[in-house]
Amino acid sequence: METRELRYFVAVAEELHFGRAAQRLGIAQPPLSRAIGGLERRLGTLLLERGSRGVALTEAGAVLLREARAALDAVEAAERRTRRAALAATGRPAVVLAAKAGASGELLAKLLDAYAAEPGAVAVAVDVVLCGPGEQTRLLHDGRADVALLHRPFDDTAGFDTEDLHREGQVAILPAGHPLSARPHVRLAEVTDLPDLPLPRWPRPDGTFPDGPGPQVRDHTQLTQLIALGRACAVVPESGRTGLREDLTAVPVSDAPTSPRSSPGPHTAAQQRSRGWSAPPLPCRRPPPKYGRGRRSH
């Protein structure tokens, strides 16, 4: 199958209408219909059920839609990484680093400053992309980022080689004035069992939400607003208290496991060095954490 055919099929499968799909692709409808028909003949199966009111995916079509999206994402990721590798070969190495907005500022600043202070460090253009929760892994998968700063277990690092940079405790974010907000610390069970302040539900990679009583949230702005309104609470890494609103309180969770901040990426260490990016020692009060990136696991 050609990528052109996959793009055509995805457009029709998402629009469920040949006319709208053709308009979206910027082509006439007849060649689009012929292309989809040819694809079905080669595969030996019907992908779309045609009707007077539009089209519907068959079971085989639903499978191809899922696989086609993944294949097109992989092709686009390969294109992006190849272009950045070409820039590195011409003496203009660049790294795209993804970090969660508002959650990794201090560590990110230390990493960039430490690398800039490295003796003999190769000049590397580091493009920092600040994104919402869960977006870093998507940027890595589709090639828009080379490396990311993630918090385990909150962020999914499956499919990536990772290296821990730093470990930190966890805190409960509560509305100011809540009875637990005046405590020096709380236990995890005390927070998770609050009937009036359920934990939020974050979207899965496919966009669906897990079942539960907590509100659905997609970003930290929504989360902090819901907590301030007394509709939810949250347990987050200690760095999440940075820049906290005045109507919120962060209370240490004494029995929560420490959260490692990791640096996953799809490139091997040799590839990173060839692009001029090496592991800087980080200035901090704790023993300097290692900094490195690895290739995406297979």
Q: What is the pLDDT of residues 197-233, one digit of tens each?
A: 999 998 876 778 889 999 999 888 899 999 999 999 9
Write out residues in the chain with pLDDT < 70, as ranges: 88, 91-92, 102-105, 205, 260-298
pLDDT at 280: 45
Q: Which residue has the tokens 């990311």?
A: 148
What's residue 103's pLDDT? 63
From edge to edge, which strands make up the β-sheet containing 248-252?
Answer: 234-237, 170-175, 248-252
3-class SS at 224? helix
What is the model's pLDDT at position 261?
64
Tell me the backbone φ, ψ of residue 279, rounded to 5 degrees: -80, 115
Distance CA 172, CA 194 (A): 12
pLDDT tens sequence across 233-283: 999 888 878 778 899 999 999 998 887 666 665 543 334 433 444 444 333
